[in-house]
Amino acid sequence: MLNVLDGLKNGLSKKLSVQALSALLLLSAAASAYSAPKTVLVLGDSLSAEYGLARGAGWVALAEQKLKAQKIDATVVNASVSGETTSGGRSRLPALLQKYKPALVVIELGANDGLRGLPVAAAETNLRAMADAAAKADARVMLIGMRMPPNYGRDYADKFFAMYGSLSKEIKAPLVPFMLDGVADKPQLFQPDRLHPLAEAHTTILANIWPVLQKSIKAK
């Protein structure tokens, strides 16, 4: 009888050991996944692609520096292209999602649609499609809005600006209403083309974006 009891104890002990080891491995894997740096994909136009600036002077690079300084574990991939429209971003996004598997997609697009006078509804459709693609790839979305100059007509400018607000509510995405707030009304902060901010303006641009970006990155 004692031999039988000893055998049962040994068998139970081995079973518990295997279960404990499995639990530890699962916990270790979960902890590793949680601690892995999040990838932030920035999909923008020339305002994010450092057009006319030295490399590392734009708001995206400044944001990456700030993340490191604050020890926020995130890797930033800047996939912005000068001249990009919402249509171009929509066509490029699936491959970028597959390649980088981001946790957060920051969409800074629409300015070139507006400057070309393209229909606001078309830009909204493209932005919505990008948000849908990101959601299917288990990535969250953050929107960065833009305003059109008054010479484009008040009706068009108002509809264009309002598009970002209504879409952000619809898709439940955090929004920076206007990235050039505090910059757009200061001609001295722009390059000779009067469209692209100088390097010193990008600290203000980052200040507009940072609170929403930081919160979006930290969100689970």
Closest CA to 86 of 59, 132, 120: 120
Q: Which of 35, 155, 185, 193 is catalytic?
A: 193
Tokens of 53: 């600036």
Q: Which of 46, 80, 168, 216 is catalytic?
A: 46
196 is annotated as an active-site residue: yes
193 is annotated as an active-site residue: yes
pLDDT tens digits in sequence order for the chain, 220 residues long: 545 445 545 554 555 454 544 444 444 444 434 456 899 999 999 999 999 999 999 999 999 999 999 999 999 999 999 999 999 999 999 999 999 999 999 999 999 999 999 999 999 999 999 999 999 999 999 999 999 988 899 999 999 999 999 999 999 999 999 999 999 999 999 999 999 999 999 999 999 999 999 999 998 7
Q: Whole-model pTM?
A: 0.84
Interior/surface letters 15-49, b for 16+ CB within 10 angstroms, e for the rest? eeeeeeeeeeeeeeeeeeeeeeebbbbbbbbbbbb
Tokens of 74: 């995130």
